Chains A and B, each alone.
Chain A
Amino acid sequence: MGALEGLWLGLTVALSPVNLAYCFLGVVLGTAVGVLPGLGPAAAIALLLPATYAMPPTAAIIMLAGIYYGAMYGGSTTSILMNVPGEAASVVTCIDGYQMARQGRAGAALGMSAFASFIAGTFGVLGLMLIGPPLARFALRFGPPEYFALTVVGLTLVSYLGGTSMLKGLSMAALGLLVGSVGIDPISGYQRFTYGLLTLSEGISFVPVAMGLFGVGEVLASAGEPAKREILKTRLSGLLPTRDDWARAGGPLARGSLLGFLIGTLPGGGAIIASFASYAVEKRVSRHPEKFGTGAIEGVAGPEAANNSAATGAFVPLFTLGLPSNAATAMIFAALLLHGLRPGPLLFTESPALIWGVIASMYIGNVMLLVLNLPLIGLFVQMLRVPYPILAPLIILFCLVGAYSVNNSLVDVWILIGFGILGYFIRRLHFDAAPLILALILGPIMENSLRQSLMASRGDFSVFFARPISAALLVLACVLVLLPALRWAVALWARQVAGGIRPVVP
């Protein structure tokens, strides 16, 4: 069945009143899950799964998928308003989104985030529909050496994430790698930095660290500053992105959508990495990289596009190969099983109405999310009118509950508090938290894939250069590292030439 034929069939399924209603319910729940810090889409889908037993399979999957991509819309809300990432994939949005809010441009940031999510979400569904199967087969070629090379590229991006000081950025990244190495070594089984604590043996989870560094750290730092909130200056006209915003966001939107979709389709990729990659790329290509971190709309548009298309991209391996690549798609895999379906390549021929119905519902769901989220912006911005002495403790409370709810673990609460205090000092001493977060995500993947590669090659390092994808990525990493040095050398040379010429001119 061709894509257009399939889409037509899908639309007839998805537009039935029952399926429309469940699609709406799914995206509303997804938005809520996204706004609530801690509670992620995977956990939300798991909790709702038993409730779908009695529903028709198509309606159930439409609703659960809606929760997943809907969460990507809601996740940016608290990032922008309170510097608390509502979703793991919205951590990067904190950097510039929150600065925009502090300048009284919360509405523009929220609006751009909603539009970026819509554009990228729709782009992702188009990609899933048109080039899903060949892309999924290509993504399978990403084995351990390719992931290792990809994480090397990722870590070189650290230099673009930090603020002004390279040294500070690198030291935060080193700290992130250290935090990422806590837990039982996955290959040899040795304990590392667990201090005999059972709860640390699976490592330090990412969510409390991110919420602590950004959310709690920000509250603590603001508590010591004189209150000067610009929010009251925000007028209704400031609720949407301006024409200038749109002009600047065009490139980031396009690049973020594409990058996010490609990273999302990788079996080990994900929305978090996609959003970081997009941010770094935008800062790299921007003519004003110094504006990043001070409220650049590009830093909101790119990552918000990337995390949404990555979420949709994760459906590519699930639907075409039957391989879930993250916790949320694993839940949808389980939901398909529970409804008596075997997710995999045969799903398209065995249950075309279901699979195309779900794909078509994603177009509809994205429209619903945009219509739903735009009016909410005004409401959310009103929240900033709450006096900070009242809002701040509420943010802390949100973070505490959110951190606990991820694993029902008190240890996670202590991790949140510990990293909150670290976040305070990071702000006070003008460090940046983003390189720490990126290194924490990439470090374990990098270590695992390096060791998996070497186990498979029996210790032969040439495996990284013998395979085309990994070789290309490693070359790219070298270029990224050497480029600033090269530029500096060129500038020095140019100055010397200029300096050499000067005496000749009278």
Chain B
Amino acid sequence: MGAFRWTSNRWLFCTWLAVASVVGLGSGVEAQAPYPAKPITLLVPFGAGGTTDLAARALAQVIPQYVGQPIIVVNKPGSSGAVAWQVMIESPTDGYTLMMAAIGTHGTLPAVNPNLPFKHNQFTTLGRTQVNPTVLVVRPDSPWKSLKDLLEAARKGPIKASVPGLGTMPHLALEILVKTTGLPKGSLTMIPYKSDAETVTALMGGHVDVNYNNLISAISQIRAGQVRALAAVSPVPGKRLSDLPDVPTFTELGIPQMNVVGWRGVLAPPGVPADVVDKWETAVRKMTEDRGWRETIQKLGDEPAFLGARAFGEFVEGEYQRYRAVATEVGIVVGR
């Protein structure tokens, strides 16, 4: 019928043409375009659905408009975040594999685990995104009406505290409390549970006497009068938490050393090029000013708290040193 027939040879030719053009286009972009030229992978050191995962997904929804490429969130859970950390430092330093870091992975984990196959500062900081307030709670029928009451009781005999695991932030923070208030060693018996929610559950059931937790894990119970807050940590110096205007901060109570908050930020493998750092520092700053992103993370109990690449690096080092000091003193070692 027609003069032009789709012989198998022509099919083959067209297929090769298509393949060649796609490959050619792809390599062309790789070679010339400035960073970022393709989607960026963001490793999450925990399973899907944890607080760090939710933070990463909130970031991945908003930051592409400031970075210019989509973000692919990949969960690499395991070993309290060490598995993802390992994957990140073994990745190419081209800025296409980054990691959502948190206090657990880069503050407390290296402070308590001396056997990690990498160093505590083996990464490049790009920017801190957010922090989250914390709170010290007791049961509503507890005889302790203030932090002072609790500390006096602890001086007389050990009281039980639930913590979400050995060497976690609440565990180390309570040890800091013991140390700075001059309580005898072991005045708080730290009973490790599996999660933040389990530690509140243990308090409500009367199985422990006190719990130190992220605000978001206890706020509903505080509002419903099922637990009572004695002290809180506010991310804004000199201001009480807007959710808990009647609860004093640790700084007000004369214990500024307890000013510990959870935090998250974005990291890259060691030695990424400067243009990647600049790009991300700017993007993270713009994101922390984005109203949609702020609203999302505030619902999850976090507060926007930007720190630039260098300042974030110094902050992480300070966090490591603080927790390393208390872990060494008390003898908390995970993974020996």
- Which A residues are within 8 Å of any B CB, using their own CB? 42-43, 45-47, 49-50, 53, 140-144, 184, 186-191, 198-199, 201-202, 267-268, 317, 321-325, 327, 330-331, 333-334, 337-340, 342-347, 407-409, 448, 452, 455-456, 458
Contact = CB atoms under 8 A, between A and B. Distances in A.
Given A337-B299, A408-B74, A456-B189, 17 more contacts: A42-B49, A45-B49, A47-B48, A140-B204, A143-B207, A189-B332, A189-B336, A190-B336, A201-B78, A267-B198, A323-B204, A330-B49, A334-B49, A334-B54, A340-B299, A344-B221, A408-B76
Contacts of B76: 407-409
Nearest to A47: B48
A342 B223 contact: yes
Nearest to A186: B192
B254 interface: no
B49 A191 contact: no
Most buried by A among B57, B207, B301: B207
Contacts of A345: 220-221, 224, 226
21 contacts: A43-B48, A53-B296, A144-B207, A184-B335, A189-B167, A189-B332, A191-B335, A199-B79, A201-B79, A322-B221, A327-B49, A337-B216, A339-B299, A345-B220, A347-B220, A407-B75, A407-B76, A407-B78, A452-B193, A455-B191, A458-B158
Q: Please tell me the size bucket of the interface on B.
A: 35 or more
A140 B202 CA distance: 8
Contacts of A189: 112, 166-167, 332-336
A330 B221 CA distance: 16
Interface stretch (B80-88, B122-130, B267-275): B80-88
B47 A43 contact: yes
A458 to B, nearest CB: 8
A470 B202 CA distance: 16
Contact of A344 (B83, B201, B224): B224
Contacts of B334: 184, 189
Contacts of A321: 201, 204, 221, 226
A50 B56 CA distance: 11
Contact of B201 (A323, A337, A408): A323
B24 interface: no
A296 B12 CA distance: 58
Contacts of B61: 50, 53
Given A50-B61, A191-B335, A338-B299, A323 B223 contact: no
B207 A456 contact: yes
Contact of A268 (B83, B198, B216, B223): B198
A49 B336 CA distance: 38
Contact of B57 (A49, A201, A452): A49
Nearest to B297: A338
A46 B221 CA distance: 24
Interface in B161-211: 165-167, 189, 191-195, 197-198, 200-202, 204-208
Nearest to B292: A53
Interface string B128-159: 00000000000000000000000000000010
A30 to B, nearest CB: 16
Contacts of A330: 49, 195, 197
B54 A338 contact: yes
Contacts, number: 151
Contacts of A340: 299
B262 interface: no
Contacts of B78: 198-199, 201-202, 407, 409
A325 B57 CA distance: 23
B220 A187 contact: no
B207 A202 contact: no
A201 B300 contact: no
A502 to B, nearest CB: 60
Contacts of B57: 49-50
B243 to A, nearest CB: 10
B58 to A, nearest CB: 8
Contacts of A408: 74-76
The 9 closest A-B pairs by CB, nearest first: A344-B220, A46-B48, A143-B207, A46-B49, A140-B205, A322-B220, A189-B334, A345-B224, A201-B79
B223 A344 contact: yes
Given A198-B117, A338-B300, A408-B74, A323 B82 contact: no
B215 to A, nearest CB: 11
A267 B208 CA distance: 15
B54 A187 contact: no
Contact of B80 (A202, A333, A407, A455): A202
A149 to B, nearest CB: 14
A187 B192 contact: yes
A469 B7 CA distance: 80
Contacts of B208: 456
Nearest to A184: B335
B281 interface: no
Nearest to A406: B47
B5 to A, nearest CB: 37
Nearest to A187: B192
Interface in B53-78: 53-54, 57, 61, 74-78
A268 B195 CA distance: 11
A339 to B, nearest CB: 8
A452 B220 contact: no
Contact of A202 (B75, B79, B205, B226): B79
B221 to A, nearest CB: 6
A43 B73 CA distance: 13
A140 B216 CA distance: 20
A141 B204 CA distance: 9
Contacts of B223: 342, 344, 346
A409 to B, nearest CB: 7
Nearest to A339: B299
Given A140-B204, A143-B206, A342 B220 contact: yes
A458 B83 CA distance: 35
Given A198-B79, A409-B78, A343 B220 contact: yes
Contacts of A317: 201
Contacts of A324: 197
B219 A142 contact: no
Given A334-B300, A342-B220, A452-B191, A323 B197 contact: yes
A186 B190 CA distance: 12
A78 B192 CA distance: 37
Contacts of A140: 201, 204-206
A186 B48 contact: no
Contacts of B198: 267-268
B20 to A, nearest CB: 32
B160 interface: yes
Nearest to B79: A201
Interface string B23-61: 000000000000000000000000111010110010001
A273 B78 CA distance: 24
A141 B205 contact: yes
A187 B336 CA distance: 12
A306 to B, nearest CB: 22
Nearest to B222: A344
A190 B167 CA distance: 12
A339 B54 CA distance: 13
B82 A201 contact: yes
Contacts of B167: 189
A452 B201 CA distance: 14
